[in-house]
Amino acid sequence: MQGKIIELVENGVDFSVWRSNSSLSKAAAGQVHFIFFCPPIDSKAVGLRQEAFAAVVAQTDAVLEIIGDGDLRGELEAQTARLGIDSSVVFSGWLSQDQCAIKLQQADALVRPSLREGGGAVVMDAMTVGLPVIATN
């Protein structure tokens, strides 16, 4: 048999979407803008991230933007309120890939506290735009 060979990349970065753009403005001076994007699901340890972020907010002027929707969103919003950090956490919901790329370019660091990670595409996207990544081992 003969056929056409197609090479598939398991995990890659689309450089037409994920690129550095120094013309986009960052957060206000002194404020650190952390970003997390993924559907809030158990394996992404989002509840642990909220608890860790409460300690950050107690010591600095920081904001955490959560991009993505999922079954845990309501629970996370309630946890954020219980921790008293609701004024420092923004739930942006689902955004397109282009909108996510802009958000990454405007942030100071990506936070990725996953307990399990299938491929880490979001981490590669962040590094492509020059964004530092804070992730679990």
For the chain, the maximum distance between any two Cα atoms, rounded to a whole number of angstroms, is 65
Give the list of residues 6+ apart from residue 12 with CB closer than 8 angstroms, or none.
Answer: 121, 124
Residue 35: which H helix or E strand, with range? strand 32-37
Give the list of residues 6+ apart from residue 103 with CB closer than 8 angstroms, or none.
Answer: 35, 37, 65, 67, 92, 95
Q: Is the pLDDT of residue 35 over 90?
A: yes
* Single pTM value for the model: 0.79
**How far, in Å, CA of 91 to CA of 9, rounded?**
32
Residue with tokens 């056409």: 4
> What ranges do the domains of the chain cover?
32-135
pLDDT value of residue 46: 67
Q: What is the pLDDT of residues 56-77, one digit of tens each?
A: 999 999 999 999 888 888 888 9
Among residues of the chain, what percentage have pLDDT more than 70?
86
pLDDT value of residue 121: 83
**How far, in Å, CA of 66 to CA of 50, rounded?**
10
Say which CATH superfamily domain 32-135 falls into: Glycogen Phosphorylase B; (3.40.50.2000)
**How far, in Å, CA of 68 to CA of 66, rounded?**
7
